[in-house]
Structure 1
Amino acid sequence: MALDASSRALIHRLARDYLVRHRRGIVLAILCTLLLAGLTALYPIVIQQGFDRFSRGDASIAWLIPPVIIAVTCLKALAQYGQAVAVQAVVLRVIEGLQNDLFHALTRADLASVAGEAPARQASRFTVDAAAIREALTKSINGAADILTVIGLIASMVWLDWQMSLIAAVMYPIAVVPILRLGKRIRRASGGMQERMGETAAQLAESFGAARVVRAYRLEAQEEARAARTFAGLREALYGIARTRASLDPMLEALGGLAVAAVLAFVGWRVAAGQGTVGEFTGFVAALLIASRPVRALGSLNAALQEGLAGLSRVFAVMDRPRRVQEAPDAVALPAGRGRVEFDAVGFRYEGGADAALAGLSFTAEPGETVALVGPSGAGKSTALALVPRLHDVTAGAVRLDGADVRGVTLASLRDAIAYVGQDAVIFDDTAFANIACGRPGATQAEVEAAARAAAAHDFIAALPQGYATSLGTGGGRLSGGQKQRVALARALLRDPRVLLLDEATSALDAENEALVAAALARLRQGRTTLVIAHRLATVREADRIVVMQDGRAVEQGSHAALMAADGLYARLVRTQFGVAEPAPAG
């Protein structure tokens, strides 16, 4: 089976990085495979001996043939079971290793590369691509067993009658060229099919996630039409592969029939000439028929292998994707400090973006200060916040924490010093305890409860059916919006960070929940440097300093009173929010 250089490289990497970890399982599979191939090849010999003994009237030996056949069959069944179990044990562990490494790569990939692709499309690599790789790997290992079986049967046929073996040997190699051509077509089609699968999963996730909007705007028919087009594209992709693969077995079946017919014609001529024995003929035909299954399996192996290689190529491409945010080789731990954050002429441009998201942004948040970032949508506020924990890296200037450029310190020490609370609280499908404790792994029950009390979350968590051991459901389905936000705040409190990043943490809450969360936030901000994005004036007024941003730049800085007195962009934003002019402060 001819493989191009890229295919050989993929197979070599799979063997080097994954298969070699399971040598014992592979050795067991090989032993069972050798036993299975040997016993299968023994069948025609036993049949030949049986027929020849009976035809000669050698009853003293002939009666042993049925027990021998039973023994061979039982041993073959045991070997077949052992081989199947050993192969699956190896294959599934390899797939598990691939999935773990793929997940590791995605969780550590640049935020921009992960956020730029639909989650459902990412998830399809763990299911669709993994299934293709699993099938290819299983068939490849089984293919080795089939090759050994065919070699053993060929040896049996040559031993029984070498002239008839030549006839059979001429037929099957004819199928090699079309099989290889079909394999290439399947590999190309598999790439398109995997894309369609990813698109389908992404579109379904999007549609179901927008169920409320779909019903409110009566978009059911539009979504159904969009889904129908997606399903039609998927059907065409799957049908193309199915049609190509479906041609393999009939072709091999026809060639097998031609081989049997040719052998029978030759045998008829030999019987007419008085050559050969009934046992030899029967054993040879039995070997030929037994060989048809492994030969057909080898014929379809190339198709499965090409699909698996296509999936493997996509998985390795994700693993090998270069990261822009990487730890410097000489990175050091973040120096001790109280959380001084400095933006020094920071510039940032998203990959492929036409305009810079930030340009010459400069401001300083002193230890313990609360600095609010305000400005119109698209001003770059969230982008600026994301640069502090290095979710992105600056393209100009520097962000410093306690005097150290964040690009020069280890990611672990940097991110351990920071806590983030966003507008949409992230709640994992786990217990209330686990959701808070992930802020500081290893925290005790008492520490988690203390953080929950400080975040005004203890009472409603204690009232859950199993208290802190209650699973909060997917996306925190058991909790209200305000409760989810307070769990997120408890997580941040438990982390005890130097720097707190708040991105619209109260904007989605009603007045009552906002008051509760605001009180928890006030406790959380004490003694910590806080960068907060907020549109609500009540939140902004509490800030020690306000940085007004526009087009990625800081156009104004100062207190609420000073900025109102300056009557610039900030004052206009305040008047727009309230619809009235706020009086300038006295003095």
Structure 2
Amino acid sequence: MAVLPADPSSRALIRRLLHGYLMQHRRGIALAVLCTLALAGLTALYPIVIQQGFDRFTANDPQLIWLLPLVIIVVTCAKALAQYGQAVAVQSVVLRVIEALQGDLFRALTRADLASVVREAPARHATKFTVDAAAIREALTKSINGGADVLTVVGLIASMVWLDWQMSLIAAALYPIAVVPILRLGKRIRRASGGMQERMGETAAQLTESFAAARVVRAYRLEAQEEARAAHAFARLRESLFGIARTRASLDPTLEALGGIAVAAVLGFVGWRVASGQGTVGEFTGFVAALLIASRPVRALGSLNAAMQEGLAGLSRVFAVVDTPRHILDAPDAVPLPAGRGRVEFDAVGFRYDGTPDAALTSLSFTAEPGQTVALVGPSGAGKSTALALVPRLYDATAGAVRLDGADVRAVTLASLRDAIAYVGQDAVMFDDTAFANIACGRPDATAAEVEAAARAAAAHDFIAALPEGYHTVLGPGGGRLSGGQRQRIALARALLRDPRVLLLDEATSALDAENEALVQAALARLRQGRTTLVIAHRLATVREADRIVVMQDGRAVEQGTHAALMAEDGLYARLVRTQAFDNTETVAA
């Protein structure tokens, strides 16, 4: 039978779900309750109708027995109507609650600190919207329907007591015995559900990784290796699912056996009473009908605890994400970013990623004056991308300060800071939306003319106009309908439309061929005009054009200056150039 979980954390989850989500839909709940009361009442009428039909009609006028089927048809139709209304009302409320939970979860993830999001593979996050949401939905549906089952059982018990209170005591004495195994099985299911969700997340993450690496898998003939990894993941998932299925499978047989014992005991007692003349055939038939009708809702209440435990496990995981504290927030006294032309200063900046012993940046200092292009170069792992991420506060410096136009970026509002910055990475991020929408997300209030002007400046207008529906062509997942160079120019158009003070370029041309690179470089030249640009580049041509080059090693700035000055110093930068660390055929000559 349905029992409120004794675990305080479970009660807290239920209260939060009730007050934070369910109570927002009082009208739907009221309609569900109304239909539930009608359904329970009409179900409880069945035994009374049968008893009255056999006893009253046959005793007074046997010819009236034909009214019994008519009454049953009326009651059945009314019950069916109430059942339909209850099912629709319940699903309306449940699905709206799930929608709200998914919205809160997505909002929490999109606004969470980048560090907390990247700890898990995207597929693991996705399972919370699907698998966990499905478990919560089932638990909610069964819990609300459990209210109908409770009322139905109460109504049937009232009918049985009205028919024969002595027989009712026999039936009632046996059902509570089922509570102990049901509660024990529920705890086992909740523990197993946590493991199952982990296996689901692992499997989804592995499949996503394998499909994303399809070219590498085929090029290196890794098919057998990936198949073995997938088979291992499927086996672990099967074991987890089978563990839950085996535990849940024991519930119905337990309830079935107890129900059978109750029915047998009642039938024996009722048969003896009728045979001894202490009861009527109508009472016997009505009581047995009530007992048999009650078996279905009683079994449903018995399995409710298992569904609740799975739902609570999913709800716990969802709320754990929603409640994860954010650290990248507006300071209590944060002010809008002051006016300026984009002067960026790193003042003895230090940074360490959570859980790593070594610092990613140590006393990094340099200045990018308004309108300058500053190139960050150095060997892999020197901290270049980390430094770039500190400017828009994707992470916060753990020592020193990053300043934009004289203001510490931690002292200004996030909205004003990020509105002043545009970012273009090596892999141009495209959304599964139209070309227009992909550019306009740089500035959502931009007009069509402004979007087209940005596309022209980024050398993207011609190929966009040639698409089947022009700017209204959906680009597909990841911009799959475009080449790498075209995606990059869309990303540059997005940045141009934003009209930022500061432009962050993270190897924006390293993955392009010569023809596309020339087009993108021309667009970049227009984009950099009048803006402060911090660029991570592996192309010597890009580095040589910079006003200042900051050479990084082990999170520090070991050299700074122009290309000519650094070559004259014959330090790390000169060695990088001579060893062709930059992708350029003229490297050695330089």
**Structure 1 length as normaliser, TM-score?**
0.98
Once residues 330 and 424 of structure 1 are traced to their aligned partners in structure 2, the CA distance between those partners, rounded to angstroms, is 36
Corresponding residue for residue 75 of structure 1 = 78
Unpaired runs of at least 5, structure 2: none
Distance 1:278 1:453 in 2: 90
2:406 match: 403
Contact map agreement 2:274 2:281 (CA 8 A) in 1:
no
Cα offset for 1:56?
Answer: 1.1
Counting aligned pairs with the same residue, the percent is: 86
Match of 2:538 in 1: 535
**Distance (Å, rounded) in 2 between the aligned partners of 1:434 and 1:582:** 44
Would you say 1:182 and 2:185 are equivalent positions? Answer: yes
Give the Cα separation in 2 of the matches to 1:268 and 1:582.
Answer: 105
Q: What's the counterpart of residue 469 of structure 2?
A: 466
The equivalent of 2:556 in structure 1 is: 553
The yes-or-no answer on 1:574 pairing with 2:577 is: yes
Distance, in Å, in 2 between the alignment partners of 1:81 and 1:581 is 76
Give the whole-Å Cα distance in 2 for the aligned partners of 1:342 and 1:296: 69
Cα deviation per residue 1:353-388 (whole Å; 9 max; x = unaligned)?
110000000011111110000011000000000000
1:208 paired residue number: 211
Structure 2 counterpart of 1:270, one-letter code: R
Inter-partner Cα distance in structure 2 for 1:64 and 1:100? 54
Contact 2:174 2:262 (8 Å CA) reproduced = yes
Asked if the contact 1:199/1:230 (under 8 Å) is kept, the reply is yes
Q: How many Å apart are 1:34 and its aligned residue?
A: 0.4
Rate the CA distance shift 1:87–1:581 in 2: closer, same or farther, 3 A. closer
Name the SS for the 1:202 alignment partner.
helix
Structure 1 counterpart of 2:386, from 354, 359, 383:
383
Residue-by-residue CA offset, 1:182-238 (whole Å, 9 max, x unaligned) = 000000000000100111101111111111111111111111111111101001000
Equivalent position of 2:237 in the other structure:
234
Among candidates 64, 69, 86, match of residue 67 of structure 2: 64
What is the Cα deviation at residue 580 of structure 1?
8.5
Which residue pairs with 1:55 in the alignment?
A: 58
Give the aligned partner of residue 506 of structure 2: 503
Cα deviations by residue, 1:35-71 (Å, 9 ceiling, x for unpaired): 0000000111000000112431424754433222111
Counterpart of 1:443 in structure 2 is 446
The answer for the alignment partner of 2:167 in structure 1 is 164
* 1:274 aligns with one of 262, 273, 277: 277
Alignment map for 1:339-350 (pairs within 5 Å):
339-350=342-353
SS at structure 2 position matched to 1:516:
helix
What is residue 264 of structure 1 aligned with on the other side? 267
Distance 1:212 1:185 in 2: 43
Query: In 2, distance between residues paired with 1:373 and 1:309?
Result: 49
- Separation (CA, whole Å) in 2 of partners of 1:137 and 1:467: 46
Map 1:111-126 → 2, pairs under 5 A: 111-126=114-129
1:259–1:567: structure 2 CA closer, same or farther, 3 Å change rule?
same
1:53/1:62 contact within 8 Å kept: no
Structure 1 residues 45-101: Cα deviation after superposition (integer angstroms, max 9, x where no partner): 000000112431424754433222111111100000000000000000000000000
Per the normalisation by structure 2, the TM-score is 0.98
2:500 and 2:248 map into 1 onto residues whose CA distance is: 58
SS of 1:64's partner is helix
1:456 aligned partner: 459
Aligned length: 584
Structure 1 residues 243 and 582 mapped into 2: Cα distance closer, same or farther (>3 Å)?
Answer: closer
- Pick which of 59-68 and 148-157 moved more: 59-68
Moved more, 344-353 or 569-578: 569-578
Range moving further from structure 2, 78-87 or 252-261: 252-261
The CA distance in 2 between the partners of 1:367 and 1:212, in whole Å, is 43
Q: Quick check: 1:53–1:61 contact (8 Å CA) kept in 2?
A: no
Q: Does 1:105 pair with 2:108? A: yes
1:518-529 paired onto structure 2 within 5 Å? 518-529=521-532
Q: CA deviation at 1:115?
A: 1.3
The more displaced of 318-327 and 337-346 is 318-327
Query: What is the aligned partner in structure 2 of residue 149 from structure 1?
Result: 152
Once residues 432 and 43 of structure 1 are traced to their aligned partners in structure 2, the CA distance between those partners, rounded to angstroms, is 63
2:435 to 426, 432, 436: 432
Superposition map of 1:307-346 within 5 A: 307-346=310-349
> Among residues 66, 87, 90, which one is paired with 1:87 in the alignment?
90
> Secondary structure in 1 aligned to 2:579?
helix
Shift of 1:272: 2.6
Q: 8 Å contact 1:110–1:325 — kept in the other structure? A: yes
Distance, in Å, in 1 between the alignment partners of 2:423 and 2:228 is 40
- The code of the aligned residue for 1:50 comes to G
2:473 equivalent to 1:489: no
Q: How far apart, CA to CA, are the structure 2 residues paired with 1:579 and 1:468?
A: 37
